[in-house]
Amino acid sequence: MPQAVLGLGSNIAPAKEHLDKAVEALSSLGTVKEVSPYILSKPEGFANQPDFVNAVVILSTPYPPAALLRKLKALEKQLGRTPTFKNGPRVIDLDILFYDQIEFFDDDDEYMLIIPHPRLQEREFVLKPLSYLLSDYIHPKLHKPVVQLYRELMKRKGKPDCRIL
Q: What CA–CA distance (Å, rounded) separates 112 from 95?
A: 11
Amino acid at 80: G
In tens, the pLDDT along 110-133 reads 888 999 999 999 999 999 999 999
Q: What CA–CA distance (Å, rounded) separates 64 from 49?
A: 34
In tens, the pLDDT along 55-86 reads 999 999 999 999 999 999 999 999 999 887 77
**Packing angle of the helix pair 15-26, 65-78 (nearest 10 deg):** 130
pTM above 0.85, yes or no: yes
Q: Judge whether residue 92 has pLDDT over 90.
A: yes
From residue 159, how far is each of 129, 153, 163 by CA, in Å? 16, 10, 11
